[in-house]
Every structure is written in C-alpha cells, then in structure tokens.
C-alpha cells in the first residue's frame, strides 16, 4: 500500500527518489527501500513523506 502510493505520488510529480528524499529530509536509499516495501517505516517518517508530497499521512496508507 504505502510503497505503491509513494511511487505513484512521486512519479506523478516527476520527482526522483533523491528529490523526494531531500524534500522529506530523508536518505535516498531509505526512500528506495520504502518503495520496495523493505522498511517498517515509523509514523514520523510517514508524516515527513506526506508533508513533502503535500498529501495527508492517512492517504499514503489508503488504497488509491
């Protein structure tokens, strides 16, 4: 869920993983791992990614 939403929202904005990571104050490899479902991400980081993408945290965990 989160992985798919993150990739969809990021690519819809034409952003690289690096750009999203920079906007969210995270490391590029961390974003890459989240998009591959390889991370048990924390709420704080879900909120950081949501803020960077200007969406709600809940929407990142909701089927699109």
- CB under 8 Å to 5, separation ≥6 — which residues? 59, 60, 61, 62, 64
Give the shortest CB-7-to-its own copies separation in angstroms.
Answer: 16
Residues in region 26-55 near its own copies by CB under 8 A = 40-44, 46
DSSP assigned state of 62: S
**Closer Cβ to its own copies, 16 or 38, answer by number:** 38
- CB under 8 Å to 9, separation ≥6 — which residues? 53, 55, 60
Q: Residue 9 interacts with its own copies (CB under 8 A)?
A: no
Q: Which residues bind its own copies (CB under 8 A)?
A: 1-2, 40-44, 46, 56-62
């Amino acid at each position: 869920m989160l992985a798919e939403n993150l990739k969809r929202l990021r690519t819809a904005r034409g952003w690289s993983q690096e750009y999203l990571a920079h906007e969210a104050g995270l490391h590029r490899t961390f974003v890459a791992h989240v998009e591959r479902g390889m991370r048990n991400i924390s709420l704080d980081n879900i909120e950081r990614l949501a803020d960077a993408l200007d969406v709600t945290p809940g929407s990142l965990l909701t089927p699109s």
